[in-house]
Amino acid sequence: MNFIKYALILNLIITIGACSMDDKNLKNNLKLNELNAQERRVIIDKGTESPYSGQYWNSNGKGTYTCRQCNYSLYKSTDKFDSRCGWPSFDDEIPGAVRRQLDADGQRTEILCAHCGGHLGHVFEGELLTDKNIRHCVNSISIQFVPDSIDSSSSNIGRALFASGCFWGTEYFMQAAKGVIKTTVGYTGGHTVNPTYKEVCTGSTGHAETVEVLFDKSKTNFEELAKLFFETHDPAEVNRQGPDIGSQYRTAIFYTDDDQKDIALKLKAILEKKGLKVATEITKSTAFYKAEDYHQQYYKNNGKRPYCHFYTKRF
Protein backbone atom coordinates (compact mmCIF):
# COMPACT_ATOMS: atom_id res chain seq x y z
CA MET A 1 0.00 0.00 0.00
CA ASN A 2 2.84 2.38 0.86
CA PHE A 3 4.46 1.62 -2.48
CA ILE A 4 1.22 2.41 -4.33
CA LYS A 5 0.88 5.72 -2.48
CA TYR A 6 4.49 6.56 -3.28
CA ALA A 7 3.97 5.75 -6.97
CA LEU A 8 0.86 7.94 -7.15
CA ILE A 9 2.64 10.86 -5.48
CA LEU A 10 5.65 10.47 -7.77
CA ASN A 11 3.40 10.44 -10.84
CA LEU A 12 1.69 13.64 -9.62
CA ILE A 13 5.05 15.36 -9.14
CA ILE A 14 6.17 14.35 -12.63
CA THR A 15 2.92 15.59 -14.15
CA ILE A 16 3.14 18.95 -12.35
CA GLY A 17 6.77 19.27 -13.40
CA ALA A 18 5.86 18.58 -17.01
CA CYS A 19 3.14 21.20 -16.91
CA SER A 20 5.55 23.75 -15.43
CA MET A 21 8.13 22.95 -18.08
CA ASP A 22 5.41 23.30 -20.73
CA ASP A 23 4.52 26.80 -19.53
CA LYS A 24 8.20 27.81 -19.41
CA ASN A 25 8.94 26.45 -22.87
CA LEU A 26 5.80 28.01 -24.28
CA LYS A 27 6.73 31.47 -23.02
CA ASN A 28 10.35 31.19 -24.11
CA ASN A 29 9.56 29.84 -27.57
CA LEU A 30 6.29 31.58 -28.38
CA LYS A 31 6.10 32.21 -32.11
CA LEU A 32 4.71 35.71 -32.62
CA ASN A 33 3.61 37.48 -35.78
CA GLU A 34 5.66 40.42 -36.97
CA LEU A 35 3.99 43.75 -36.17
CA ASN A 36 4.18 46.98 -38.13
CA ALA A 37 4.78 50.33 -36.43
CA GLN A 38 1.07 51.07 -35.90
CA GLU A 39 0.39 47.62 -34.47
CA ARG A 40 3.38 47.87 -32.11
CA ARG A 41 2.17 51.26 -30.85
CA VAL A 42 -1.06 49.69 -29.63
CA ILE A 43 -0.21 46.05 -28.87
CA ILE A 44 3.25 46.54 -27.33
CA ASP A 45 3.26 50.19 -26.21
CA LYS A 46 -0.39 50.12 -25.05
CA GLY A 47 -1.61 52.90 -27.31
CA THR A 48 -5.17 53.46 -28.53
CA GLU A 49 -6.43 53.78 -32.09
CA SER A 50 -8.85 56.59 -32.95
CA PRO A 51 -12.57 55.78 -32.56
CA TYR A 52 -14.45 54.75 -35.72
CA SER A 53 -11.12 54.22 -37.52
CA GLY A 54 -10.57 50.51 -36.92
CA GLN A 55 -11.45 47.60 -39.18
CA TYR A 56 -13.91 45.88 -36.85
CA TRP A 57 -15.79 48.56 -34.92
CA ASN A 58 -18.88 48.04 -37.08
CA SER A 59 -18.37 44.46 -38.37
CA ASN A 60 -21.00 41.78 -37.89
CA GLY A 61 -19.69 38.57 -39.51
CA LYS A 62 -20.00 35.18 -37.80
CA GLY A 63 -16.72 33.83 -36.50
CA THR A 64 -13.94 34.30 -33.95
CA TYR A 65 -11.72 37.26 -33.15
CA THR A 66 -8.12 36.26 -32.49
CA CYS A 67 -5.03 38.05 -31.16
CA ARG A 68 -3.16 39.78 -33.99
CA GLN A 69 0.19 39.05 -32.36
CA CYS A 70 -0.17 35.32 -31.56
CA ASN A 71 -3.42 34.14 -33.27
CA TYR A 72 -4.97 33.07 -29.96
CA SER A 73 -8.79 32.98 -29.96
CA LEU A 74 -10.19 35.76 -27.77
CA TYR A 75 -13.82 36.55 -28.58
CA LYS A 76 -16.80 34.99 -30.36
CA SER A 77 -18.84 37.14 -32.74
CA THR A 78 -21.97 36.14 -30.79
CA ASP A 79 -20.65 38.22 -27.87
CA LYS A 80 -20.00 41.33 -29.99
CA PHE A 81 -22.46 44.22 -29.75
CA ASP A 82 -22.84 47.80 -30.97
CA SER A 83 -21.93 50.07 -28.07
CA ARG A 84 -21.68 53.13 -30.37
CA CYS A 85 -18.33 53.96 -28.83
CA GLY A 86 -16.31 53.61 -32.05
CA TRP A 87 -14.36 50.50 -30.98
CA PRO A 88 -15.25 46.79 -31.18
CA SER A 89 -17.21 45.86 -28.04
CA PHE A 90 -17.81 42.44 -26.48
CA ASP A 91 -19.74 41.51 -23.34
CA ASP A 92 -17.89 38.21 -22.84
CA GLU A 93 -14.60 36.53 -23.73
CA ILE A 94 -13.58 32.95 -24.47
CA PRO A 95 -12.84 31.43 -21.03
CA GLY A 96 -9.21 31.95 -20.04
CA ALA A 97 -8.35 33.98 -23.14
CA VAL A 98 -8.21 37.48 -21.64
CA ARG A 99 -6.20 38.71 -18.67
CA ARG A 100 -7.02 41.84 -16.65
CA GLN A 101 -4.76 44.23 -14.77
CA LEU A 102 -5.01 47.80 -13.50
CA ASP A 103 -3.45 50.58 -15.56
CA ALA A 104 -0.34 52.16 -14.05
CA ASP A 105 -2.45 55.10 -12.79
CA GLY A 106 -5.00 52.73 -11.24
CA GLN A 107 -7.89 54.43 -13.06
CA ARG A 108 -8.92 51.77 -15.59
CA THR A 109 -8.70 48.00 -16.02
CA GLU A 110 -6.56 46.94 -18.96
CA ILE A 111 -7.28 43.74 -20.90
CA LEU A 112 -4.49 41.69 -22.47
CA CYS A 113 -4.20 38.47 -24.46
CA ALA A 114 -3.63 35.78 -21.83
CA HIS A 115 -1.43 33.88 -24.27
CA CYS A 116 1.14 36.51 -25.33
CA GLY A 117 0.36 39.55 -23.14
CA GLY A 118 -0.52 41.81 -26.06
CA HIS A 119 -2.57 44.92 -25.19
CA LEU A 120 -6.20 44.70 -26.32
CA GLY A 121 -7.92 47.66 -24.69
CA HIS A 122 -9.92 48.16 -21.48
CA VAL A 123 -12.93 46.62 -19.77
CA PHE A 124 -15.84 48.55 -18.25
CA GLU A 125 -18.70 47.44 -16.00
CA GLY A 126 -21.95 49.01 -14.84
CA GLU A 127 -22.90 50.72 -18.11
CA LEU A 128 -26.10 48.63 -18.53
CA LEU A 129 -25.48 48.23 -22.28
CA THR A 130 -26.23 44.47 -22.30
CA ASP A 131 -27.69 41.94 -19.88
CA LYS A 132 -24.15 40.95 -18.85
CA ASN A 133 -23.47 44.60 -17.97
CA ILE A 134 -19.86 44.49 -19.16
CA ARG A 135 -17.99 45.95 -22.14
CA HIS A 136 -14.63 44.84 -23.46
CA CYS A 137 -13.53 47.88 -25.46
CA VAL A 138 -10.97 46.46 -27.91
CA ASN A 139 -8.70 48.06 -30.49
CA SER A 140 -9.38 46.66 -33.96
CA ILE A 141 -5.65 46.68 -34.63
CA SER A 142 -5.11 44.24 -31.74
CA ILE A 143 -7.32 41.54 -33.24
CA GLN A 144 -8.05 39.60 -36.42
CA PHE A 145 -11.32 38.06 -37.59
CA VAL A 146 -11.59 34.38 -38.60
CA PRO A 147 -14.95 33.58 -40.24
CA ASP A 148 -16.77 30.36 -39.34
CA SER A 149 -17.25 29.54 -43.00
CA ILE A 150 -14.01 29.08 -44.95
CA ASP A 151 -13.68 28.03 -48.59
CA SER A 152 -11.08 25.29 -48.20
CA SER A 153 -11.03 24.80 -51.99
CA SER A 154 -9.45 28.23 -52.50
CA SER A 155 -6.01 28.07 -54.10
CA ASN A 156 -4.65 30.25 -51.28
CA ILE A 157 -5.81 27.86 -48.54
CA GLY A 158 -3.57 24.93 -47.60
CA ARG A 159 -4.61 21.82 -45.68
CA ALA A 160 -2.51 19.60 -43.43
CA LEU A 161 -3.24 16.63 -41.17
CA PHE A 162 -1.12 15.97 -38.07
CA ALA A 163 -1.37 13.32 -35.35
CA SER A 164 0.83 13.55 -32.25
CA GLY A 165 -0.96 12.00 -29.30
CA CYS A 166 -4.05 13.56 -27.76
CA PHE A 167 -5.51 15.89 -30.38
CA TRP A 168 -6.26 18.51 -27.74
CA GLY A 169 -2.56 19.21 -27.30
CA THR A 170 -1.74 19.06 -31.00
CA GLU A 171 -4.49 21.58 -31.75
CA TYR A 172 -3.36 23.86 -28.91
CA PHE A 173 -0.07 24.62 -30.64
CA MET A 174 -1.30 24.48 -34.24
CA GLN A 175 -4.16 26.95 -33.75
CA ALA A 176 -1.74 29.56 -32.40
CA ALA A 177 0.70 29.24 -35.30
CA LYS A 178 1.19 32.11 -37.74
CA GLY A 179 -1.01 31.84 -40.82
CA VAL A 180 -3.33 29.17 -39.43
CA ILE A 181 -6.94 29.98 -40.27
CA LYS A 182 -8.80 27.10 -38.67
CA THR A 183 -8.14 23.84 -36.81
CA THR A 184 -10.49 20.88 -36.41
CA VAL A 185 -9.85 17.76 -34.34
CA GLY A 186 -10.96 14.39 -35.62
CA TYR A 187 -9.97 10.92 -36.70
CA THR A 188 -8.13 9.61 -39.76
CA GLY A 189 -5.97 6.70 -40.89
CA GLY A 190 -8.50 4.01 -39.95
CA HIS A 191 -11.01 1.69 -41.57
CA THR A 192 -14.27 2.39 -39.72
CA VAL A 193 -16.66 4.87 -41.32
CA ASN A 194 -17.70 7.77 -39.08
CA PRO A 195 -16.10 6.44 -35.88
CA THR A 196 -17.04 7.78 -32.46
CA TYR A 197 -14.53 8.78 -29.79
CA LYS A 198 -15.51 5.72 -27.77
CA GLU A 199 -14.80 3.44 -30.73
CA VAL A 200 -11.47 5.10 -31.54
CA CYS A 201 -10.38 4.75 -27.89
CA THR A 202 -10.62 0.95 -28.17
CA GLY A 203 -7.82 1.05 -30.75
CA SER A 204 -9.85 -1.28 -33.00
CA THR A 205 -10.78 1.26 -35.72
CA GLY A 206 -7.20 1.99 -36.80
CA HIS A 207 -7.69 5.75 -36.55
CA ALA A 208 -5.29 8.27 -35.02
CA GLU A 209 -6.46 11.34 -33.14
CA THR A 210 -5.70 13.96 -35.77
CA VAL A 211 -5.84 17.72 -36.27
CA GLU A 212 -6.90 19.17 -39.61
CA VAL A 213 -5.14 22.49 -40.17
CA LEU A 214 -6.28 25.06 -42.74
CA PHE A 215 -3.68 27.73 -43.38
CA ASP A 216 -3.12 30.86 -45.45
CA LYS A 217 -0.37 30.09 -47.97
CA SER A 218 0.58 33.76 -48.15
CA LYS A 219 1.50 33.74 -44.45
CA THR A 220 2.94 30.28 -43.82
CA ASN A 221 3.56 26.94 -45.51
CA PHE A 222 3.40 23.21 -44.85
CA GLU A 223 7.08 22.96 -43.94
CA GLU A 224 6.79 25.53 -41.14
CA LEU A 225 3.77 23.73 -39.72
CA ALA A 226 5.48 20.33 -40.03
CA LYS A 227 8.47 21.69 -38.10
CA LEU A 228 6.10 22.87 -35.37
CA PHE A 229 4.53 19.41 -35.35
CA PHE A 230 7.91 17.75 -34.73
CA GLU A 231 8.81 20.34 -32.09
CA THR A 232 5.66 20.09 -29.96
CA HIS A 233 5.66 16.38 -29.15
CA ASP A 234 8.09 13.48 -28.79
CA PRO A 235 8.28 11.91 -32.28
CA ALA A 236 10.37 9.03 -30.91
CA GLU A 237 7.44 7.62 -28.91
CA VAL A 238 5.63 4.62 -30.40
CA ASN A 239 1.84 4.48 -29.97
CA ARG A 240 1.83 6.87 -27.04
CA GLN A 241 2.44 10.43 -25.96
CA GLY A 242 2.99 11.08 -22.29
CA PRO A 243 0.46 9.09 -20.24
CA ASP A 244 -1.79 8.45 -23.28
CA ILE A 245 -1.14 4.96 -24.65
CA GLY A 246 -2.58 3.24 -27.73
CA SER A 247 -2.32 3.25 -31.52
CA GLN A 248 -4.83 6.12 -31.63
CA TYR A 249 -2.10 8.28 -30.02
CA ARG A 250 0.59 7.45 -32.59
CA THR A 251 2.71 10.13 -34.24
CA ALA A 252 1.84 10.57 -37.93
CA ILE A 253 1.71 13.00 -40.83
CA PHE A 254 -1.05 12.26 -43.32
CA TYR A 255 0.16 14.02 -46.47
CA THR A 256 -2.31 15.38 -49.01
CA ASP A 257 0.09 15.58 -51.97
CA ASP A 258 3.62 14.59 -53.03
CA ASP A 259 5.08 17.94 -51.99
CA GLN A 260 3.91 17.40 -48.41
CA LYS A 261 5.26 13.84 -48.50
CA ASP A 262 8.71 15.01 -49.66
CA ILE A 263 8.86 17.75 -47.02
CA ALA A 264 7.81 15.37 -44.24
CA LEU A 265 10.43 12.80 -45.29
CA LYS A 266 13.09 15.52 -45.48
CA LEU A 267 12.36 16.79 -41.96
CA LYS A 268 12.26 13.26 -40.58
CA ALA A 269 15.67 12.56 -42.16
CA ILE A 270 17.13 15.74 -40.63
CA LEU A 271 16.02 14.65 -37.15
CA GLU A 272 17.33 11.12 -37.65
CA LYS A 273 20.67 12.52 -38.77
CA LYS A 274 20.75 14.40 -35.46
CA GLY A 275 20.37 11.08 -33.66
CA LEU A 276 16.63 11.09 -32.93
CA LYS A 277 14.92 7.77 -33.58
CA VAL A 278 11.74 9.10 -35.26
CA ALA A 279 8.66 6.88 -35.05
CA THR A 280 6.45 9.26 -37.04
CA GLU A 281 4.45 7.54 -39.78
CA ILE A 282 4.29 9.41 -43.08
CA THR A 283 1.17 8.16 -44.79
CA LYS A 284 -1.15 9.29 -47.58
CA SER A 285 -4.25 10.95 -46.17
CA THR A 286 -7.57 9.12 -46.14
CA ALA A 287 -11.02 10.19 -44.97
CA PHE A 288 -10.99 12.66 -42.08
CA TYR A 289 -13.91 12.47 -39.66
CA LYS A 290 -14.63 15.43 -37.42
CA ALA A 291 -14.66 14.58 -33.71
CA GLU A 292 -17.51 15.36 -31.35
CA ASP A 293 -18.15 19.06 -30.63
CA TYR A 294 -16.97 18.88 -27.02
CA HIS A 295 -13.46 17.98 -28.27
CA GLN A 296 -13.14 21.03 -30.53
CA GLN A 297 -10.93 23.86 -29.19
CA TYR A 298 -10.82 21.93 -25.92
CA TYR A 299 -8.03 23.80 -24.13
CA LYS A 300 -9.24 27.21 -25.25
CA ASN A 301 -12.76 26.50 -24.12
CA ASN A 302 -11.58 25.21 -20.76
CA GLY A 303 -8.81 27.73 -20.10
CA LYS A 304 -6.20 24.99 -19.70
CA ARG A 305 -2.90 23.92 -21.28
CA PRO A 306 -1.58 20.57 -22.55
CA TYR A 307 -0.15 18.08 -20.08
CA CYS A 308 1.81 15.96 -22.57
CA HIS A 309 2.74 18.42 -25.35
CA PHE A 310 5.48 21.02 -24.95
CA TYR A 311 7.79 22.93 -27.25
CA THR A 312 11.33 21.66 -27.89
CA LYS A 313 13.52 23.38 -30.48
CA ARG A 314 14.68 20.74 -32.99
CA PHE A 315 15.44 22.61 -36.24
166: annotated active-site residue: yes
Pinpoint the residues of the chain covered by CATH 3.30.1060.10. Answer: 157-302
pLDDT computed for residue 164 by the predictor: 97
Rounded mean pLDDT, 30-59: 91
DSSP string, 76-104: EGGGEE--SSSS-EES---TTSEEEEE-T
At 239 the pLDDT is 97
pLDDT over 80 (residue 134):
yes
Of these residues, 85, 137, 201, 308, which one is catalytic?
Answer: 137
Phi and psi torsions of 229, nearest 5°: -55, -50
Nearest-CA neighbor of 171 among 301, 74, 267?
A: 301
Buried residues in 72-82 as b, exposed as e (16+ CB within 10 A): bbbbbbebbee
Q: Which CATH number is 37-147 given?
A: 2.170.150.20
In this structure, whether the domain defined by 157-302 belongs to CATH 3.30.1060.10 is answered with yes
Q: Averaging pLDDT over each range in 14-23, 67-76, 195-204, 295-304, which range is the top one?
A: 195-204
Q: Is the pLDDT of residue 11 over 50?
A: no
Q: How many Cα atoms occupy the beta-carbon half-sphere of 208 within 13 Å?
A: 27
For residue 153, name the pLDDT band (cuts at 50, 70, 90): low
Q: What's the whole-model pTM score?
A: 0.64
Burial class of residue 116 (count of CB atoms within 10 Å of its CB; 0-12, 13-18, 19+): buried
Q: Which of 67, 70, 166, 308 is catalytic?
A: 166
**Residue 250: strand, helix, or coil:** coil
Per-chain mean pLDDT for the chain: 88
**DSSP tag of 293:** G
* Residue 208 confidence (pLDDT) above 60: yes
- Secondary structure of 100-114 in the HEC alphabet? EEECCCCCCEEEEEC
Tell me: pLDDT of 43 over 80: yes
Distance CA 63, CA 89 (A): 15
Delimiting residues of CATH 2.170.150.20 domain(s) in the chain: 37-147
Between 206 and 307, the higher pLDDT residue: 206
Q: Is residue 26's pLDDT more than 70?
A: no
Angle at Cα 269 formed by Cα 164 and Cα 234, nearest 5°? 25
- Share of residues in the chain with pLDDT > 90 (%): 73
Q: Give the range among 20-29, 38-47, 169-178 with minimum mean pLDDT.
A: 20-29
**Going by DSSP bridges, is the β-strand pair 63-67/143-147 parallel, antiparallel, or unpaired?**
antiparallel
For 263-295, what is each residue's pLDDT tens digit? 999 999 999 999 999 999 999 999 999 999 999
Q: Is 137 labeled as catalytic in the residue annotation?
A: yes
Q: Cβ contacts of residue 159 below 8 Å, gap of 6+?
A: 152, 212, 213, 214, 215, 256
